[in-house]
Amino acid sequence: MTRLPQNPSKVKLGLVIDLDICVGCHACAVNCKEWNTSGKMAPLTDIDPYGAKPDGVWFNRIHTYEAVDEVAGTSRTVHFPRSCLHCDDAPCVTVCPTGASYKREEDGIVLINTDICIGCKLCSWACPYGAREYDEDEGVMKKCTLCVDKIYNENLPPESRVPACVSTCPAGARSFGDLGDPDSDVSKLVAARDGYALMPEQGTKPVNRYLPPRPKKVGDAVAPRLLEHHDDSNDGAGLLARWVDKVLSA
Amino acid sequence: MHPAKSVIYFTTASGAGYGLMVWLAVMGAFGFLPADRTFGIIGFGLAFFLIISGLLSSTGHLGRPERAWRALSQWRSSWLSREGVSAILTFGPTGLYALGWVVLGQNAGLVGLIGLVGALMCLITVYFTSMIYASLKAIPAWRNRWTSLGYLLMALMSGALIMLALQAVFGLGLITVTIKISVALLGLSGVLKLAYWRAIQTDPPRSTAESATGLGRFGMVRMIESPHGEDNYLLKEMGYKVARKHAGKLRRIALVTGFILPMAMVAAIMVLGLPYVAALSFLALISAGIGLVVERWLFFAEAKHVVTLYYGNSKV
Ligand code: SF4
Ligand code: SF4
Ligand code: SF4
C-alpha cells in the first residue's frame, strides 16, 4: 500500500547529522555500502567498477560545499553527507504505482520491496533529495534502509544496533534515534543545537535533522606560535656537545 | 530530466490516439460524420494503434516490464496507477463504440452516447497522464499551471489533424467543422506553449542551494567537491543539460513546425478550397507531428530537478 500510514505510530526513527563535526572522510558511505550490499536491499550493484566510468548504487553520498559571505569576507567549508531523510510526507511513497515503496507504520522507515518494484523510476523523480538510486542491473530502485536489518538485529550486541553509518563515523558526527519523542537524546540534541530540516519548502516533512556548523570564533583565534629563534653559536652548550660540534665541523 | 524516447513516444502517440478517438466520437455522435465502415476500420484502427503502441512503449522504460501489471494496484495515491487503470477502463466504451460503428454501421443515438462516454474517459486518461508529471513538486517546470491543459489541448489538436487528413482522403463528413476545430486548437495550444515557456522562465525559484543545504546562514553556497568523479544515476537521469544550450532554437522550431505552419496550412484550405485539402492536411499533420516531438522532448529535457541543487545548481 503506497498510501502513507493511516495510523502512524509516534516513533520516527531517523538520523541527526552534525555538520560541525563531519570531516568529510566518506567512512559512513563506505560502511553503508559494505553493510547494505548484503542487507535487505542487496546488492548495491557496481557497474564498470574498475573501468573508466565507474558507476553504482550508494545510499549515502558526501558532498563538500563552501558558503561564502562576500560582504563580511568570510567563508565556511562544510562536508555534507546526503542520504534518505525518511520523510513523514514522503512523495516517493505516494507516487509509486505498485506498492513497492512504503513507509513503515511502526517506526516511519521508508523502504522498497524490490520483489514487486517495476523500475519505473517515478519515486526517484519525486524525491527532492536524490536519496533513491536505480539499480541498472536488477532493474529496480534502491535506497537507504536506515539499516533496518541492523538496528533490530538481536544477533548483535545492543550497542551495535545502530545504522552502519552511525557506528562507523570516526568523528561521531552521526546520531540515530527516535525523533518523534521530544525527550530522546537525538531530539534534545536537535533542540540544543538548532537542528534543521533540508528544503522544508518541498513539503516532504523530513525526519532527519542537520546540525549547523557552530559559529566561527572570531578575535580570540591565535595562529600557532613560531619556534623561538635558534642561536647557532654553541656558547652555553655542554662540554660534550661542544666537542661533538668541533669534530663534526672539522 | 533525461528525455527517454519511450516516454516521448508514449505521451505524443497515445495523446494523438485519444484525441482522434474523441473526435471520432464527437463528430459521429453529433452527426458530422456518417458511420462509413471503411472509414471506421481505418479511423479506429489508427486510434487504437496509437493508444496501444504508446502504452506499450511506456512500459519500455521499465526496469521490470514483466511486472507492469502491478502498476494498476495503487490508484488511491498514484497518478501513474490511475492512468493505467483509466487507460484500461477506457477500452470498454471506446471498443463498444468502434464495434457499433464498424459492425452495426451506427454512430449516433445510443452508440453515439457510448462514444461520448468513451471520449470523456479518453480525456480523463490524458489528464491522468499529465498529472504524473504535474504532481511532482521536485520538478517545478512540470508542476506548472499549464502542464495539464497543455497535454489535453495537444492531444485534441493532434487528434483533430489526423481526423482532418482522414476526412480529406475519404471525402467524408463536414470537413469545414474539422478545419475550424483544428485551427482553433492549433492557435490555443501554441499560445499555451508560449505561456508555459514564459512561466518556467519567470516563475520564482522554489528551492535554492542555500535551502537544500541549510547553509544559507553562512552565505552563498557552492559545491567544491562532488561525492563522485563520474556521473551517477542521479546526474544521468536528472542532470540532463543538452537542451538548455539549444533551448531557444528548439523552442522556435517547435513553435513554427508544431503550431504556426500547420495552422497556416489548414487555414489555407479554407482560402484555396477543397481541391488542396488532402495535400495540405497531410503536410499540416506531418509538420505538427515533428513539432510535437520536439515540444515533448523539450518538456523533459528542459525540466530541472531540485536534486541538481546538491550538484552545483544554484536555484530551481
Ligand atoms: S528523502 Fe526522498 S526517498 Fe527518502 S523519504 Fe524523503 S522523499 Fe522519500
Ligand atoms: S521504481 Fe519501483 S519503487 Fe519506485 S515508484 Fe516505480 S515501482 Fe515504485
Ligand atoms: S542508515 Fe544505513 S542505509 Fe541509511 S545511510 Fe546510514 S548506513 Fe546507509
pLDDT at A218: 67
Q: What is the pLDDT of residues B56-73, one digit of tens each?
A: 999 988 999 999 999 999
| E-only strand ranges, A118-250 | 132-135, 140-143, 174-178, 209-211
Q: Is A2 in the pocket of ligand 2 (CB under 6 A)?
A: no
Assign domain B5-311 to its CATH architecture.
Up-down Bundle (1.20)
Handedness of CA A203, A204, A205, A208 (dihedral sign): negative
Calculate how close chain B gets to A210, using CA atoms only, in Å.
Answer: 8
A249, part of any domain: no
Q: What is the pLDDT of residues B260-304, one digit of tens each?
A: 999 999 999 988 887 889 999 999 999 999 999 999 999 999 999
Rounded to whole angstroms, the Cα distance separating A219 from B269 reads 81
Q: What is the pLDDT of residues B129-172, one digit of tens each?
A: 999 999 999 999 999 999 999 999 999 999 999 999 999 999 99
Contact flag B230-A53 (C-beta cutoff 8 Å): yes
Sequence letter at residue B214: G
Calculate how close chain B gets to A162, using CA atoms only, in Å.
Answer: 24
pLDDT at A219: 66
Rounded to whole angstroms, the Cα distance separating A147 from A165 reads 9
pLDDT at B262: 98
Rounded to whole angstroms, the Cα distance separating B21 from B51 reads 9
Report DSSP state, residue A184: S
pLDDT at A222: 63
If you measure from the C-alpha of residue A58 to the centroid of ligand 3, how many angstroms do you get, rounded to a whole number?
Answer: 9
Number of domains, chain A:
1
By the CB < 8 Å criterion, does B299 face chain A? no
Half-sphere exposure of A192 (CA within 13 A, CB side): 9
Rounded to whole angstroms, the Cα distance separating B16 from B164 reads 13
Q: What is the pLDDT of residues B22-32, one digit of tens each?
A: 999 999 999 99
Give CA angle at B16 (B11, B22), nearest 5°.
125
Taking CB atoms and an 8 Å cutoff, what residues of chain B touch A199?
207, 211-212, 306
Contact flag B78-A95 (C-beta cutoff 8 Å): yes
pLDDT at B50: 98
Q: What is the mean pLDDT of chain B?
A: 96
A236, part of any domain: no
Give CA angle at A237 (A234, A239), nearest 5°.
110
pTM of the model: 0.92
Stretch B195-213: mean pLDDT: 96
A64, part of any domain: yes
One-character DSSP codes across A200-225: GGG----S-EEEPPPPP--SS--PPP
Report B:259-298 residues touching A (Cβ under 8 A).
none
By the CB < 8 Å criterion, does B204 face chain A? no
A250, part of any domain: no
Helix intervals (H) in A95-147: 122-126
A232, part of any domain: no
A237, part of any domain: no
pLDDT per residue, tens digit, chain A (250 aa), is 567 988 889 999 999 999 999 999 999 999 999 999 999 999 999 999 999 999 999 999 999 999 999 999 999 999 999 999 999 999 999 999 999 999 999 999 999 999 999 999 999 999 999 999 999 999 999 999 999 999 999 999 999 999 999 999 999 999 999 999 999 999 999 999 999 999 999 999 999 999 999 987 766 666 666 666 665 666 667 788 777 877 888 7
Handedness of CA B272, B273, B277, B279 (dihedral sign): negative
Rounded to whole angstroms, the Cα distance separating A241 from B10 reads 89
Rounded to whole angstroms, the Cα distance separating A206 from A91 reads 11
A227, part of any domain: no
Beta-bridge mates of residue A81: A62
Stretch B77-88: mean pLDDT: 97
A248, part of any domain: no
Three-class secondary structure of residue A248 per DSSP:
helix
If you measure from the C-alpha of residue B210 to the centroid of ligand 2, how many angstroms do you get, rounded to a whole number?
Answer: 29
Half-sphere exposure of B310 (CA within 13 A, CB side): 27
Rounded to whole angstroms, the Cα distance separating A90 from B268 reads 52
Rounded to whole angstroms, the Cα distance separating B87 from A37 reads 38
Sequence letter at residue A212: P
Q: Which of A63, A118, A196 is nearest residue B70 as measured by Cβ atoms? A: A118
Q: How confident is the model at residue B237 (pLDDT cuts 50, 70, 90)?
A: very high
| E-only strand ranges, chain B | 220-225
pLDDT at B273: 80
Give burial (CB, 10 Å; 0-12/13-18/19+) of A240.
exposed
pLDDT at B60: 86
Residue A25's domain comprises 13-211
- What residue segments make up the domains of chain B, in order of their start? 5-311
What's the Cα-to-Cα distance from A143 to each of A30, A44, A45, A112, A176, rounded to whole Å? Answer: 15, 9, 12, 7, 17
Q: Is A59 in the pocket of ligand 3 (CB under 6 A)?
A: yes
By the CB < 8 Å criterion, does A194 face chain B? no
Taking CB atoms and an 8 Å cutoff, what residues of chain B touch A99?
70, 73-74
Contact flag A56-B68 (C-beta cutoff 8 Å): no
Report the CATH number that the domain containing residue A63 is assigned in CATH: 3.30.70.20
Sequence letter at residue A119: G
Rounded to whole angstroms, the Cα distance separating B301 from B141 reads 10
Contact flag B231-A58 (C-beta cutoff 8 Å): no
pLDDT at A232: 61
pLDDT at B111: 97
